[in-house]
Amino acid sequence: MAILENIRKRTTVLILIIGLALFAFVISGVFSSNELGGGKVGSSVAEINGDEISIDQFRRDVEAYSRMAGPTASSMQLVNQVWDRQVRNTILDQQFEELGINIEQDQIINYIKTIPSYVQNPEFHNASGVFDENKFREAVADWKANNPGRYALWLQDEQAIIQNAKEQTYFNLIKAGVGSTLKEGELDYKLANDKVDIKYVRVPFTSIPDSSIAVTKKEIEAYVNDHKKDYKQDRSRDVEFVYFEEKPSLEDENAVKEEINKLMEDRVEYNAQKDANDSIKGFKNTTDMIAFLDRNSDIKYDTIYKAKKDLPAKFADTLMALEKGSMFGTYRDGDYFKVSKMMDRKANGTVKSSHILISYAGAQRANPEVTRTKEEAEAKAKELLTEAKRSGTVFAELARDNSDGPSAPQGGDLGYNQEGVMVAPFNDFTFSNPVGAIGLVETDFGFHIVKIDDKQDIVRIATLAREIEPSEETINTLFTEATKFEMETTSDKDFAVAAKENNFVVRPVNKIKAMDENLPGLSAQRAIVQWAFNDDTKLGEVKRFNINNGYAVVRLTAKYAEGLMSVEDASALVLPKLRKEKKAAQIIEANKGKTMESFAKDNNVIASTASALTMKSPIIPGAGSEAFVVGTAFAMEQGATSGLIKGDSGVYMLTVTKKEEAAKLDNYSTYANNLQASAAGRVNFAVYNALKEASTIEDKRAIFY
């Protein structure tokens, strides 16, 4: 307050401050953009190129995201989303600062004008119904003074708008430097349109068994060292686990069936208040189905009539065939045992219909492009009605070509609807006429040519249902089994051996990352991941975890440090490549100096042909992509035969049978422009990825989450 008082006393200083604020205007010049910001308080969750990210601000961002995402997103999904956004913003902000990119008033207003949610909001419209920046400023000022909650939401939006506007400016600067010359356009044209035909012999690498090719550990190590960029790895872990699923036993299922069977019949119960026995009607005979199912069923009585499509698909035919008062069951439907009783049926209670809507100017929900009058619409509808009734006419095609309704792409199909769902005239026609009838109906939407496609009964069914759940005895037995297995494997018994002795299935999960959450077969199990990455957890250590619907006994099987892969870890990736190189060398050595005919004959293969190959699509039918082989063919003269060529799938020898140059164009600007547009379209993605790859990012999230 003392500082503010001093400023008030110094008019010149005040004017200067106001001038600077207007110059650097970030819509919150009326409204301060720093109010939701925060200093870097407490520990950092990351360090990006030397800039620390405050864990306090990070947590606030996660909380804000959780409010927007709702209950469906897991906590780790939110953390990872905020992380990706924070890393991107920090890396790009560093670029903005270095280049001096800032956003001023006009730029922000112009950017807001591209956002439909602002431009289309009547709150910011002038008397002409057009977005007015002055109305917008007034609204934000009013929020600040009278609606702090709305103002806080605006400040969040504002930060995103500022960031997006800066990004747009930054990437546009880069795109301005992206260009393509006419020569590049000409090359692109020739790569796509110059063609070559070849006759070739290919000896595939699969002709030599992998088992006959020896690759040493030193060779793998040398290859990895020569290709370090391709064999980097993140810090990760391997685990294996046995899942003890909490599910009902056969005895539990039989017990539920027995409960349902008891509820079917009438029974006698002692009433202590009356000191007498009461006769209680069962499901078969009850006269108050709602009360009975409220007391005895896990699914309450649904009094709504249902069509066949609304019944359980597996049992729909059987249920629809029941007579009134008859029952079906006991049957299993998912996790429930059920008995169903037909309470009532309405014949032809749901109708499937199609229509062709002919709308007119002024009709309800009419497309603004519709200009015909009501009289013209009626005349056209009558013409279409005559055509629809004509023998051989396909109603769906007529609807697709003529209907103004949203169902036109579906041939006018409106599906099944019960009585009272459609507007009254439409409803009356469909329920008063037989299947196959076609007629003209007028509603507020226009004129409808209506066809009745089908009618089905609807039914009201009462279902006594009991969920099949594990009993307390089953749960206790499962806990005992899991605990016993954990104790055996933490002592001296091998994990796999103990599992085999007990007929348990061991499931491996490899290369878990520090911020992973979901484990295949166990879903979200953050606690297991944290345990696996804990420095105190030793290789081979076993631990039991309580998880949803049971227990998991987990063993840590491998630890991988960040950096270059070890020979063992890289071997699965490197072995196929080294084998291919050795096979190529072996085939080339064995066939030096041979003609194409002898090369084919000695290797028991036949010559093939490929036509109209291009450099832009170097696909050889039956062999796949072979860029080097096709490129070699383009470098040869017509009629020339190559030596042995190492391709991706085998060793080739080829003869160029025809070369065809594309016709010269007067101008290659179209191709140059396409190249430039394609390159510009990749700028946002490619530039950010390059910046991220070049950044030093220290991720500390695993400490906090």
d(CA 190, CA 182): 12
Q: Which of 152-161, 213-222, 500-509 is least confident?
A: 152-161
pLDDT band at 204 (very low <50, low <70, confident <90, very high): very high
> What percentage of residues in the chain have a pLDDT greater than 70?
94
pLDDT band at 329 (very low <50, low <70, confident <90, very high): confident
Assign 360 to helix, strand or coil: coil
Report domain extents, the chain. Answer: 195-233+567-660, 241-247+471-559, 251-469
- pLDDT by residue (tens digit) across 161-192? 888 889 988 999 999 989 899 999 999 999 99
d(CA 702, CA 28): 36
- pLDDT by residue (tens digit) across 550-606? 999 999 999 999 899 999 889 999 999 999 999 999 999 999 999 999 999 999 999
Q: What pLDDT does residue 36 have?
A: 33
Mean pLDDT of 98-106: 85
For domain 251-469, give the fold. Answer: Chitinase A; domain 3 (3.10.50)
**SS3 assignment for 390-452:** CCCCCHHHHHHHHCCCCCHHHCCEEEEEECCCCCHHHHHHHHHCCCCCEEEEEECCEEEEEEE
β-sheet bridge partners, residue 237: 512, 559
pLDDT at 684 over 70: yes
d(CA 506, CA 239): 10
Same fold, 195-233+567-660 and 251-469: yes
For domain 195-233+567-660, give the fold. Answer: Chitinase A; domain 3 (3.10.50)
Kindly write down the DSSP assignment for every residue of 210-245, as one continuous string: GGG----HHHHHHHHHHTGGGGEE-SEEEEEEEEEE
β-sheet bridge partners, residue 442: 447
Q: Among positive and negative, which fits the CA dihedral 214, 216, 222, 223? A: positive
Burial 373-383 (b: 16+ CB within 10 A, else e): eeeebbebbee
DSSP state of 561: -
DSSP state of 130: S
Mean pLDDT of 533-555: 93
Task: Pull the structure tokens for residue 304.
Answer: 């709504």
